[in-house]
Amino acid sequence: MATVEKDSSLRTALIAYGSETGNSQDVAEEIGRLTERLYFRTRVDELDALQPRDLYGYRFTVFVVPTTGQGDFPANGRKFWRSLLLKRLPPTFLQGVSFVLFGLGDSSYPKFNWASRKLYRRLLQLGASELYPRGEADEQHPEGLEGTFLPWSLDLRKHLLDKFPLKEGQHPIPDEVRLPPKWILDRYDLKEEDGESRTKQPSRAQEASSPDHDTRPLPGSISATLTDNTRMTPSSHWQDVRHLVLTASESITYAPGDILYITPRNFPQDVDRLISLMGWEEQADIPLQFVTGDGSPASTSVSAPSIPFLLGSPGFTLRTLLTDYLDIMAIPRRSFFSQIAHFTKDEMHKERLLEFTNPEYIDEFYDYTTRPRRSILEVLAEFDTVKIPWRLVSSVLPVLRGRQFSLASGGKLKTSAGGGTRFELLVAIVRYQTVIKRIRQGVCTRYLASLQPGSTLKVQVQKGGLHSSAKQLSDPSVLIGPGTGVAPIRSLLWEKAAMAEELKKNQKCGPDEQPLALLLGPVILLYGGRNRAADYFFADEWEELKAQLDLTVITAFSRDQKKKKKYYVQDALRENSAMFYELLHEKGGSVFVCGSSGRMPQAVREALIEAFQAPLGDSAESRQTAEKYLIDMEKVGRYKQETW
């Protein structure tokens, strides 16, 4: 994409984001629309597409940065971050660069918004100037990201107007005026070898003949074959939890806590419904390409299309876009309502859609979208006068994002029988009834549940946040994993077992050799679930692992108690606090907490503090000492959390 030379007379803005789930990119694109409405020529791009010197070419840069794992940068921002850490950079390196920063985080993690704070400090160290106070979003906010982002962005807009006033007589582009699209879809003529053009495409039946074989050219992905898709919970149980096994021919190295990133596909019946609602039947199966909205050469655009790798692969169809690349089942953001309001002639519908974009109606927006988990497809069905032009579909609908799943395999489970790599997952299929009595299903887990053995998927292996060193694998450890949070815990245990086996092979001892289970430090597995009979996953394996490790298993099943009070992992931790104190405080062990974010990790943290405080007494000073000990564990990597 083209770069912009800095000129004090130019209104130019760079919006740079890092993103793994897509939330940060959505925020970045919304900020981009905000600056465009103030007449800034705006480039929105991921951090790793930039060099630090690119920042000089813009009046200001807005960084949108989430925190992943243990205070880490997202994968597509780490290269840029490392480029800022070079020791040779002088403290004046970014002098003259103005920046704004918005961080996204989850306050249930100890290192809340850590990545954005690290970037903030480094930018100042290198001489950059903060244009506007940074903002921080919290996943735990009652209204999600919007609860923090909306008021912050409104204040940012006011500040930009004050700092960079418009020309006399000029006014910001109103929200009700549609911004010109940077990229649109256009028909594409396929050329035969003889030079004749052709427009015939594979029939819809041909395109759908192998729905379980994913051939998308997703960057950085590999093909994996599903060999097992087994339900782990009884059919009578309210939740469907699957054990999935996939194999790949490539030899891929991964570690406990690493992630398998899977991009789902939309279901044909949902795609058909959207095509019918929009009246796109005639355009659904003709070959298409991306072209710039103003007809200029693609190389002159400051931003890439929403699916950049298709720019060089024309000939796709609208149906393909809707099935494989655009998220028609996402919960819409406010900006979606602003865009589709342009495509209805019904004044009542237009007025209602624009109300959802008004900050004064944030509660109504939340009640209509987030609380009932209403999808884009449902919104378009309810506002049936909206007719999105097919050429603009990629500018209006969000990109279909992959979902992250913690790998449950480790040690000997990482290699497939025929060679290559084996991946195992433990996945809770998302299906529930909302406040408006409608059944909701997770886009990716619904897709995974439908796949039969033999299906192929496109997957990516990504680094997780546990970062378990060889020393930590051999040292004493406490592993806490309620429900599907046991997936990375299982990976850790099998990795420990493999290490113990390797140590045994290398020992060359006689008849009095040390038992295999004593070659590594002791391990406590604290497992949590609802019912022992329904969701005690991998119970047989824990018994098998006891023969290879010094393993103690403590369980907490919240619904199996005769008493009315529910019993959780933090309660089991308190009951056995002396055991945990000895392993962690006296033997220097590490803690790994995996599972749902929110209350669980906070409750576990509190129970650990109480365990460290117990030998010291009930004074305020002893409490502070216990808290400091846990904080010190975090600093040296002895307390790690992987929650979602």
Annotated binding site: 19-24, 104-113, 139, 373, 403-406, 442-445, 484, 558-559, 566-570, 644
- Decide if 123 contacts 99 (C-beta within 8 A): yes
Contact 464, 257 (CB under 8 A): yes
Encoded tokens for 463: 């680094």
Beta-bridge partners for 594:
642
By DSSP bridging, strand 241-248 and strand 421-428 are antiparallel
- Which residue numbers belong to the known binding site for FAD? 373, 403-406, 442-445, 644
- Pair of tokens at residue 418: 């025929």
H or E, element range at 146: helix 144-163
At which residue do the structure tokens 């209509």 appear?
368
SS3 625: helix
Could you give the angle at the alpha carbon of 376 between the alpha carbons of 291 and 219, nearest 5°?
Answer: 50
Chain centre to alpha carbon of residue 401: 8
Is-contact 152 257, C-beta < 8 A? Answer: no
C-alpha distances (whole Å) from 347 to each of 339, 353, 376, 390, 592 are 15, 10, 20, 22, 55
How far is residue 68 from each of residues 106, 259, 586, measured CA to CA in Å?
Answer: 9, 12, 31
Q: Cβ atoms within 10 A of the Cβ of 533, count?
A: 12
Backbone angles phi, psi at 221, to 5 degrees: -100, 160
From the CA atom positions of the chain, what is the Rg in Å?
A: 27
Half-sphere exposure of 164 (CA within 13 A, CB side): 21
CB 131 within 8 A of CB 163: yes
Q: From CA 236, how far away is CA 333, in angstroms rounded?
A: 36
Q: Reduced to 3 states, what is the DSSP secondary structure of residue 560? A: coil
Decide: 479 and 520 in contact? Cβ < 8 Å.
Answer: no
CB within 8 A of 421, min separation 6: which ones? 247, 248, 250, 251, 252, 254, 414, 415
- Angle 23-36/144-163 helices, nearest 10 degrees? 30
The tokens of 222 are what?
């590999």
Helix-then-strand count for the chain, H and E: 21, 23
**DSSP secondary structure letter of residue 72:** B
Q: How many CA atoms lie within 13 A of 592 on its CB side?
A: 31
Distance CA 478, CA 584 (A): 8
| Nearest CA among 545, 543, 529, 541 for reference residue 481 | 529
Picking from 263, 229, 262, 225, the residue whose alpha carbon sits closest to that of residue 247 is 225
Contacts of 129 (CB under 8 A, 6+ apart): 97, 98, 99
State the binding site for FMN.
19-24, 104-113, 139
- Exposed/middle/buried for residue 509 (C-beta within 10 Å: 0-12, 13-18, 19+): exposed
Retrieve residue 83's tokens: 């480029």
Q: What is the dihedral of CA 66, 327, 594, 563, to 10 degrees?
A: 130
Enumerate the known binding-site residues for NADP(+): 484, 558-559, 566-570
Closest by alpha carbon to 41, among 250, 220, 182? Answer: 182
